[in-house]
Amino acid sequence: MQLPSVLLENAVAEFAKLPGIGKKTALRLVLHLLKKEEKEVNHFSETITKLRSNIKFCHRCHNISDGDICSICSNSMRKQNIICVVETIRDVIAVESTQQFNGTYHVLGGIISPLDGVGPDQLNIDSLIARIKTEQTEEVIFALSPNIQGDTTIYYIQKKLANITCKMSTIARGIAFGGELEYADEMTLAGSLQNRLPVKQYVNG
């Protein structure tokens, strides 16, 4: 695709670096911006620059935050002694949007995956252990990816906490709501048979 201007080409190249955006979509976005007022476009780029230079991460849970401590960690209405351990900030947003969790989070920044070169040292695991020890946490809920890497990460953290009395759980695994039995993989189906729930508990939530 030959573009008629170097400026246009540069802008398209920058947009095409974003995940899931190819050169054609990038061109569509850039031409859309070109139709806007100069003021609006400047506002767009300023917002992004400002975000990157001013963003902070919560010292306690590593979530994105406007201050040193995020709004969840500083909220006294939430149970500060329950920690939900997640991989990324997007997972925090996903759990928050269920409106079913009233504790705090700890963002690991990933999961242990030797194949991808991610070991425990690259993750916020030490700060999680320290936090559980000093804060006398009541319960740790692991909401990690349901795969080998996620299980490895849970196993690793659990070993590190061997001498600490603290409830530990993982989110339930089974057939997703609306999913079809025949398409479920064997491990999921076997697990959901093993961990079957009393009908009463299920129906009454």
| Shortest separation between residue 37's beta carbon and a copy of itself, angstroms | 9
| Shortest separation between residue 7's beta carbon and a copy of itself, angstroms | 5
* Distance in angstroms (rounded) separating the CA atoms of residues 55 and 6: 32
Calculate the CA 70 to chain-centre distance: 15
Q: CA separation (Å) from 20 to 17, 23, 32, 47? A: 9, 10, 18, 21
CA dihedral 132, 110, 144, 52 (to 10 degrees): 90
Stretch that binds a copy of itself, among 30-38, 110-118, 146-154, 192-200 (CB under 8 A): 30-38
Which of 92-130 are b and which e, b meaning 16 or more Cβ less than 10 Å from the residue's Cβ? beebeeeeebebbbbbbebbbbeeeebebeebbbeebee
Q: How many residues contact a copy of itself, by CB under 8 A? A: 56
By CB under 8 A, name the one of 22, 45, 187, 195 that touches a copy of itself: 45
* Closer residue to a copy of itself (CB): 144 or 157: 144
Number of alpha carbons in the 13 Å side-chain half-sphere of residue 140: 23
Asked if 173 interacts with a copy of itself (CB under 8 A), we say: no
Q: Which two tokens stand for residue 55?
A: 């963003």
The answer to whether 92 and 107 have CB atoms below 8 angstroms apart is yes
**What is the footprint of a copy of itself within residues 57-116 (CB under 8 A)?**
63-66, 70-72, 88-90, 92-93, 96-97
* Closer residue to a copy of itself (CB): 100 or 163: 100
Asked if 194 interacts with a copy of itself (CB under 8 A), we say: no
| Shortest separation between residue 159's beta carbon and a copy of itself, angstroms | 29
| Shortest separation between residue 184's beta carbon and a copy of itself, angstroms | 25
| Shortest separation between residue 204's beta carbon and a copy of itself, angstroms | 27
By CB under 8 A, name the one of 30, 86, 111, 143 that touches a copy of itself: 30
In this structure, the strands spanning 139-142 and 82-86 are parallel
User: Contact residues for a copy of itself (CB under 8 A)?
Assistant: 1-8, 10-11, 14, 17-21, 25, 27-34, 36, 38, 41-55, 63-66, 70-72, 88-90, 92-93, 96-97
